[in-house]
Amino acid sequence: MFVQMPGNWTQHSFFRSKFLIKSDEQISKIVKSGLSTVIVDPLKSHIRPEIKKKPVYIPKAPEKKIEPKIDLGPRLLPAGFSAFLTDATVAPKRKASHLYEVCLYVMDKVLLNPNIGNITQFKMGVSEIVDLLVSDKDTATQLFHLTSRDHYSFTHSINVGVMSILLTKALYGESTPPNMQELSSAYFLHDIGKSKISDEVLYSTQEYSEDERTIMEAHPMDGLDLLEEANLLSDESKIILSQHHEREDGSGYPNGLQGDEIHIYSRICATADVFDALTSRRLFKPSLLLYDALLLMKYDKGLHLNKEVFSAFVQLFK
């Protein structure tokens, strides 16, 4: 070790105050000189002192939470449904007809009992439906023409869902939104809040009273509450469920949004929603023919639809 004697040279018997210890005799001489301490310079020493490293703190990995398995209840989609949709040997017309019947059955179950199991299974099935509509033009065309004119809530939801998906594809082209599955689920479930409305009000043959209208106009937010309870409230759901009755001039509900405050997804859903309502048979209103409905949507200022979205919607009928 390289050491330095404390004090000045008169206090020890060494010729120099700083030197490198090379023998045991030098250590003995330091001890005999009566010095109790010396200063060691580790940088000049040949044998470096061992420096104990501080223990490295390694945080414990967070324990993985095991999510409890949710009982989804009875199966909604029929066995072999996926295989049927992807079977290239099935004619588009037959495939579209079967798909529509399945959608009606499933939507009926979801709206009658909108629990977490039914909604989750429906959303799982929608991803396959979307893939088919986006990739299979012939089946999509047949399905578009199949949209029924009976204005039961579940039939209306299927019609609006199908038309909204195809309208989204028409507007976005090859740059279809990457969140198309969530988006399409929201299109189909846009009226799920109506499941909280009594049949007496929902299927009333009379003009709504002020109280009944208040109940009806609450269904967008009621729908949000239902999906939130099921922990299935995506960004797309929030947009479409809350805004599909908003209108360009601010006359819609529930928030009176106007113009660009209304999201394009909601404008798409609103256009399909209005068309299906006009062309469906309802208890208190006859249905309009396709051409008459489109004319009304174009010129009736009371509907207040977005012109660009409506123009793309009209092109679907070609």
pLDDT at 310: 94
- Output the domain CATH number for residue 275: 1.10.3210.10
pLDDT at 152: 59
Does 45 map to a domain? no
Q: What residues does 281 pair with on adjacent strands?
A: 150
Does 76 map to a domain? no
133 and 237 within one domain: yes
Q: Which of 201, 100, 194, 203 is nearest to 151 (CA)?
A: 203
200 and 93 within one domain: yes
118 and 200 within one domain: yes
Query: What sign does the dihedral 27-32-33-34 (CA atoms) show?
Result: positive
| 3-class secondary structure per residue, the chain | CEEECCCCHHHCCCCCCEEECCCHHHHHHHHHCCCCCCEECCCCCCCCCCCCCCCCCCCCCCCCCCCCCCCCCCCCCCCCHHHHHCCCCCCHHHHHHHHHHHHHHHHHHHHHCCCHHHHHHHHHHHHHHHHHHHHCHHHHHHHHHHCCCECCHHHHHHHHHHHHHHHHHHHHHHHCCCCHHHHHHHHHCCCHHHHHCCHHHHCCCCCCCHHHHHHHCCHHHHHHHHHHHCCCCCHHHHHHHHHCCCCCCCCCCCCCCCHHHCCHHHHHHHHHHHHHHHHCEECCECCCCHHHHHHHHHHCCCCCCCHHHHHHHHHHCC
19 and 166 within one domain: no
Q: What residues does 65 pair with on adjacent strands?
A: none
Q: Distance between CA 318 and CA 305 in Å, rounded?
A: 20
123 and 13 within one domain: no
Does 295 map to a domain? yes
By the 8 A CB rule, do 136 and 90 touch? no
270 and 133 within one domain: yes
Does 183 map to a domain? yes
Tokens describing residue 168: 């989204």
Q: pLDDT tens-digit profile of 107-148?
A: 888 888 888 888 888 888 888 888 888 788 888 888 887 775
287 and 219 within one domain: yes
Does 21 map to a domain? yes
For residue 83, how many C-alpha atoms fall within 13 Å in the half-sphere facing its CB? 3
Per the listing, tokens 């495939």 go with 95
Number of domains composing the chain: 2
154 and 6 within one domain: no
Tokens describing residue 197: 């409305």
Q: The domain containing residue 299 runs over which residues?
A: 81-316
Residue count (the chain): 318
pLDDT at 53: 57
Q: Distance between CA 115 and CA 30 in Å, rounded?
A: 89
pLDDT at 190: 93
Does 234 map to a domain? yes
250 and 164 within one domain: yes
Does 122 map to a domain? yes
Per-residue pLDDT tens digits of the chain, which is 318 residues long: 877 777 666 666 666 777 778 888 878 887 777 777 778 877 777 765 555 555 666 666 666 665 556 677 788 888 888 888 888 899 999 988 888 888 888 888 888 888 888 888 888 888 888 888 878 888 888 888 777 555 556 788 889 999 999 999 999 987 778 788 889 999 999 999 988 888 888 877 788 889 999 999 999 999 999 888 888 888 889 999 999 999 999 999 999 999 999 999 999 999 999 999 898 876 667 788 889 999 999 887 667 899 999 999 999 988
Does 10 map to a domain? yes
